[in-house]
Amino acid sequence: MGFIGDTVESIRSIQIRQVLAQIISLGMIVTSALIIWKGLMVATGSESPVVVVLSGSMEPGFKRGDILFLHMSKDPIRTGEIVVFNVDGREIPIVHRVIKVHEREESAEVDILTKGDNNFGDDRLLYAHGQLWLHQHHIMGRAVGFLPYVGWVTIIMTEKPFIKYLLIGALGLLVITSKE
């Protein structure tokens, strides 16, 4: 009958109890992933404990597709640290190095200026209109480790959505046709 015929026959023979068991298993997998993510958020103190480098602005240190692990501590941010920050009006966080820190004595606030290692100038053009410095609330975390190239999976699925849908469809078919 062939692979396709066997797959169709397997889908037809599924009973309600099997479907419910598979839905519960899928729900447990999703719930486990969310619990792990929330646990990482608490452990690292960062709203996004893992990010993917999306551009070449930090080469040669970090390349496009590297995964960075973040940690947010109470320690003051210092020049030379690599931070991930969000800018008002932009959805995607940016990974760059701190090149200047200005501490205000009267308010204990800190102004931060960043730059990509592979960029010619500082990041003031990337900041929101009229913004010259980053502040503590813009910082999502400090880079404490990385895995090279592992983030390419995310980049490919974002840039080529049909691959993402193909993968989701294949995994869904696998879940539906599995016997256990």
Told to judge if 75 belongs to the known catalytic residues of this protein, a careful annotator would answer no
Told to judge if 96 belongs to the known catalytic residues of this protein, a careful annotator would answer yes
Catalytic residue among 46, 57, 66, 138: 57
Told to judge if 55 belongs to the known catalytic residues of this protein, a careful annotator would answer no
Catalytic residue among 46, 66, 123, 138: 123
Catalytic residue among 46, 48, 88, 96: 96
Structure tokens at 125: 């053009």
Radius of gyration of the chain (CA): 22
Catalytic residues: 57, 96, 123
